[in-house]
A = this chain, B = another copy of it.
């Protein structure tokens, strides 16, 4: 067992997380977001339309905070409120993917190019290894997050 390798990898995965947080924040600032809005905007790109309540439980924010969040996004034309036909209490938040992309893409462009090149430098086998790691690691983090939040 290569303990040093494991230790090094653990450290790297932590550093990877921190570094991505920092990049994420730098992008947010550049995009003109105050505070943490960029983080929540990502949920829309990932999951698509959702109700205010879903966003609240997804983000852990109170419904009041979500109201404000959507207000800010709506003002910037990044999302649109729509009442659900089936249940008119519900507010469906429809992301304007085009506008969101137009805002974020230029800021991520260079990163995308570089990381594309990086990926291309690996063989298919290697990429599958990395993929497998990501899939499992995401699972573990999601489990951990759920446990921390729900009790």
Contacts and interface: CB of A to CB of B under 8 A. Distances in A.
Interface of A: 1-2, 5-6, 8-10, 12-27, 29-30, 36, 39, 42-43, 46, 60, 107, 110-112, 114-116, 118-120, 122, 124, 126-131, 133-138, 140-145, 147-149
Contact of A129 (B112, B116, B122, B140): B122
A15 B130 CA distance: 14
Contacts of A118: 133, 136-137, 140
Given A21-B21, A111-B141, A141-B23, A127 B12 contact: no
What are the 8 A-B residue pairs with the smallest beta carbon separation, nearest first?
A: A26-B148, A17-B20, A12-B134, A111-B144, A23-B145, A19-B141, A23-B141, A114-B140
